[in-house]
């Protein structure tokens, strides 16, 4: 135990222990013998101290010119870029996904940070004519104040950066609670921000459990907005708690994303896309492909191609460059995935490959499961309807584009969808008629870039988007300003002659 590092909370520019005096162990999901570190088991009073610091720091930070805030973010991005390899291997150790993907995760944080650094010199509002003479109209974005962030474990650095960077460039201050399973990546992000000059109190972090810290982070009157990524069930609780005091809530929740493969699709490409979409990040993305609608004329061929490829995927420790798919994050999620595999079997779906927990040797130390493909799935099955968040793909047959679109839309979620076809008319029809926030043509359901809005319709979100300039709308409020230099009273809508 002696060489296990203890990581502290970050409050008001200081690394401090929790008032609870307690820590918890975080272990590597690929090898639970390895302890990543000891992290603070924080209590509500820690969250309150962090909110206090953020609230005090807001008074100055909101007045720092946005281009100056951007310069700091630019340096943070550069620092992340310089340390990318180390940050990625820390992330693979704590989260499990393969090193190629954790490099992508860190890169996504870098992209978002550079992007928002640039926004420091834009943050455009509008100037527009007045209906009255000698009057000037314009809009500016004003920050909200303290933002609470409740972050997930599947993108340990990218998603915290999606939330933090737009909030900071707009002039807000923040308190973040990383997932209890992936706090190290947020510790690393805090360190980079602090050492590159983000002032004390502007960013704060408390580690620990959601049920303990959530209420304080949501209900404190100084918190103006809560940004949450996680399950629809928890998102509903966050939303209801925010509604009481009209706090803004930005919610990014579940998905049940579909890839459509039409009879004219390039099947090799469609298989590549489905494998990456379904088994990348071990299926633990909100955007993961968990449903596949395949045209009946090619379903047999497509199924045999994907099953053959799925069988060849190397499952193991993500630090090994040869590994294709890492472990599931923890025992609870593994149990959940195994439960859904059993449900699929008992509902009468045909298990084409996978379906087992991997055991023996190194596998016994982690939470490994085989890439799993079900066929003969029907739209009333739970494996077709419910979010699994694991490497389980369900394939359904269709006989027309219309039917494929109806199946795609037959879900409570609306995050991402994709179509593989060579027909431009089919592509555009699906693009228009599938009700999701993200849509891909001849590409998998995963792979969003940071300068486009990210989020979903229906029970995936509550109308907001992360990333892109849409994120600025979440973390600022418009102020419309009218300057009258006529020297007399001019009444809008009345004195317009
Ligand atoms: C998520 O699905 O949980 O689009 C986030 C992607 C990544 C982000 C995914 N850029 O797959």
* Closest CA relative to residue 117, chosen from 70, 158, 76, 169: 70
Predicted TM-score of the model (pTM) = 0.97
pLDDT of 497 reads: 74
Q: Which atom of ligand 1 is nearest to the CA of 229?
A: 3
Q: Which residues are catalytic?
A: 252, 286
Residue 55 alpha carbon to ligand 1 centre in Å: 31
Task: Give DSSP secondary structure letters for 97-137.
Answer: --HHHHHHHHHHHHHHHHHHHHHTT-----EEE-SSTTEEE
Distance, CA of 399 to chain centre: 34
* Closest CA relative to residue 274, chosen from 26, 103, 442: 442
Within 8 A by CB and 6+ apart from 497, the residues are none
Decide: 289 in ligand 1 pocket, CB within 6 A: no
pLDDT of 367 reads: 98
d(CA 2, CA 5): 8
3-state secondary structure of 8: coil
Q: Which CATH architecture has domain 257-441?
A: 3-Layer(aba) Sandwich (3.40)
d(CA 218, CA 6): 27
pLDDT of 2 reads: 57
113 and 81 in contact (C-beta within 8 Å)? no
* Closest CA relative to residue 440, chosen from 273, 327, 203, 314: 273
Q: Which atom of ligand 1 is nearest to the CA of 280?
A: 11
pLDDT in tens, the chain (497 residues): 558 999 999 999 999 999 999 999 999 999 999 999 999 999 999 999 999 999 999 999 999 999 999 999 999 999 999 999 999 999 999 999 999 999 999 999 999 999 999 999 999 999 999 999 999 999 999 999 999 999 999 999 999 999 999 999 999 999 999 999 999 999 999 999 999 999 999 999 999 999 999 999 999 999 999 999 999 999 999 999 999 999 999 999 999 999 999 999 999 999 999 999 999 999 999 999 999 999 999 999 999 999 999 999 999 999 999 999 999 999 999 999 999 999 999 999 999 999 999 999 999 999 999 999 999 999 999 999 999 999 999 999 999 999 999 999 999 999 999 999 999 999 999 999 999 999 999 999 999 999 999 999 999 999 999 999 999 999 999 999 999 999 999 999 999 77
3-state secondary structure of 223: strand
3-state secondary structure of 477: strand
Q: Which atom of ligand 1 is nearest to the CA of 288?
A: 2
pLDDT of 245 reads: 94
Q: Which regions of the chain carry the CATH code 3.40.309.10?
A: 257-441
d(CA 452, CA 371): 30
CATH 3.40.50.300 at 6-253+461-480, yes or no: no
Residue 445 alpha carbon to ligand 1 centre in Å: 9
Distance, CA of 201 to chain centre: 25
pLDDT of 170 reads: 98
Decide: 108 in ligand 1 pocket, CB within 6 A: yes
Decide: 104 in ligand 1 pocket, CB within 6 A: no
Residue 28 bridge partners (DSSP): 31
* Closest CA relative to residue 460, chosen from 258, 238, 254: 254
d(CA 390, CA 388): 6
Decide: 446 in ligand 1 pocket, CB within 6 A: yes
pLDDT of 152 reads: 98
Q: Which regions of the chain carry the CATH code 3.40.605.10?
A: 6-253+461-480
Q: Are strands 31-40 and 23-28 parallel, antiparallel or unpaired?
A: antiparallel
Within 8 A by CB and 6+ apart from 245, the residues are 219, 221
């Amino acid at each position: 135990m002696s060489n296990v590092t203890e990581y502290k909370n970050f409050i008001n520019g200081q690394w401090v222990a929790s008032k609870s005096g307690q820590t918890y162990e975080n272990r590597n999901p690929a090898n639970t013998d390895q302890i990543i570190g000891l992290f603070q088991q924080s209590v509500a009073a820690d969250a309150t101290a962090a909110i206090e610091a953020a609230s005090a720091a807001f008074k100055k930070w909101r007045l720092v010119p946005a281009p100056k805030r951007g310069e700091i973010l630019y340096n943070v991005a550069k620092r992340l870029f310089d340390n990318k390899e180390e940050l990625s291997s820390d992330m693979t150790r704590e989260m499990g996904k393969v090193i190629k993907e954790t490099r992508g995760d860190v890169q996504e944080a870098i992209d978002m940070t550079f992007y928002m650094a640039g926004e420091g010199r834009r943050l455009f509002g509008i100037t527009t004519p007045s209906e009255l003479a000698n009057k000037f109209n314009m809009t500016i974005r004003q920050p909200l104040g303290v933002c609470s962030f409740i972050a997930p474990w599947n993108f340990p650095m990218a998603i915290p950066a999606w939330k933090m960077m737009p909030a900071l460039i707009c002039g807000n201050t923040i308190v973040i609670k990383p997932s209890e399973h992936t706090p190290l990546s947020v510790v690393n992000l805090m360190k980079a921000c602090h050492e590159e000059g983000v002032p004390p109190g502007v960013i704060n972090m408390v580690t620990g459990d959601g049920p303990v810290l959530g209420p304080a982070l949501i209900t404190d009157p100084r918190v103006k907005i809560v940004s949450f990524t996680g399950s629809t069930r928890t998102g509903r609780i966050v939303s209801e708690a925010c509604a009481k005091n009209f706090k803004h809530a930005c919610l990014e929740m579940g998905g049940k994303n579909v890839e459509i493969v039409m009879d004219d699709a390039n099947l090799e490409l469609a298989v590549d896309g489905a494998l990456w979409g379904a088994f990348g990040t071990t299926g633990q993305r909100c955007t993961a492909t968990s449903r596949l609608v395949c045209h009946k004329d090619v379903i047999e061929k497509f199924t045999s191609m994907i099953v053959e490829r799925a069988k060849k995927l190397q499952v193991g420790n993500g630090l090994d460059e040869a590994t294709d798919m890492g472990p599931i994050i923890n025992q609870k999620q593994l149990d959940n995935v195994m439960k859904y595999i059993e449900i699929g079997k008992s509902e009468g779906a045909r298990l084409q490959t996978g379906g087992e927990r991997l055991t023996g040797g190194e596998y016994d130390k982690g939470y490994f499961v085989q890439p799993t493909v079900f066929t003969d799935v029907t739209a009333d099955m739970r494996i077709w309807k419910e979010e699994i968040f694991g490497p389980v793909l369900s394939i359904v047959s269709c006989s027309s584009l219309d039917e494929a679109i109806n199946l795609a839309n037959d879900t409570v979620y609306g995050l991402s969808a994709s179509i593989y076809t060579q027909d431009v008319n089919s592509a555009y029809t699906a693009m228009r008629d599938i009700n999701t926030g993200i849509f891909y043509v001849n590409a998998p359901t995963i792979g969003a870039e940071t300068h486009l809005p990210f989020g979903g319709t229906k029970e995936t979100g509550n109308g907001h988007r992360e990333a892109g300039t849409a994120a600025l709308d979440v973390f600022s409020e418009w102020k419309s300003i009218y300057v009258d230099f006529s020297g007399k009273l001019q009444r809008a809508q009345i004195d317009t002659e």
